[in-house]
Amino acid sequence: MASTSDIRKGLCIKYNHDIFKIIEFLHVKPGKGPAFVRTKLKSVTTGKVIDNTFSSGHKIEDVRVETRSYQFLYAEGETYHFMNTDDYNQISLQESSLDAPGLLKEGEVVKIMFNTEDSMPLSVDMPASVILEVTYTEPGVKGNTATNATKPAKVETGAEVNVPLFINEGDKIKVDTEKGTYIERVKV
């Protein structure tokens, strides 16, 4: 058993007969009354996100997890296939268990969390950012670097990302996987 002081991003807990992963939390100490922890929980079985508040000192049941490196092989409809980089075993996961499936490129190495009790995969942790090639966007015009205006661009995985006006087709860009936003252009 853990308490609210152990809450951190990425912790998996049992709550309401389901397993949830903490995706956001905030310790709040109001001027009047007891402290509490405001959390955003994502169900690892359904993908549903709920808001919950735990009072200070509340006991939570954490789930023991093990993290392993897997390489993304290919997607087949809603099913995504991964290969363990250590023993080459393959597993298949549904799209709902992925945080940003549109930014997952073939060959990308991700971390998959497994429940140690029954060896069931709980969630897929993407790298903080990925480098993707722009396959389609409106052509850039010289001198369009001074404003914060953006335009939509389609990347090699099929996802759409808003990019600055100076980005052209064939450019490689770094994308934040948590927010799905453009970070910078990458020189190759």
pLDDT band, residue 94 (cuts 50/70/90): confident
Average pLDDT, the chain: 87
**Can you tell me whether residue 6 is helix, strand or coil?**
helix
pLDDT score at 101 = 85
pLDDT score at 52 = 92
Under a CB-based contact definition with an 8 Å cutoff, are residues 175 and 184 in contact?
no
Does residue 145 carry a pLDDT above 80?
no
Does residue 40 carry a pLDDT above 90?
yes
pLDDT band, residue 141 (cuts 50/70/90): low
Confirm whether 65-125 and 129-186 share one CATH topology: yes
Q: Domain locations in the chain?
A: 2-62, 65-125, 129-186
Residue 17 C-beta-side C-alpha neighbours within 13 Å? 0
CATH number 2.40.50.140 given to 2-62: no
CATH number 2.40.50.140 given to 129-186: yes
- Residue 167: Cβ within 10 Å count: 23
**Domain with residues 65-125, CATH architecture:** Beta Barrel (2.40)
| Residue whose pair of structure tokens reads 């369009």 in the numeric block | 144
pLDDT score at 45 = 75
Q: What percent of the chain has pLDDT over 70?
A: 96
The arithmetic mean of pLDDT across residues 121-137, rounded, is: 88
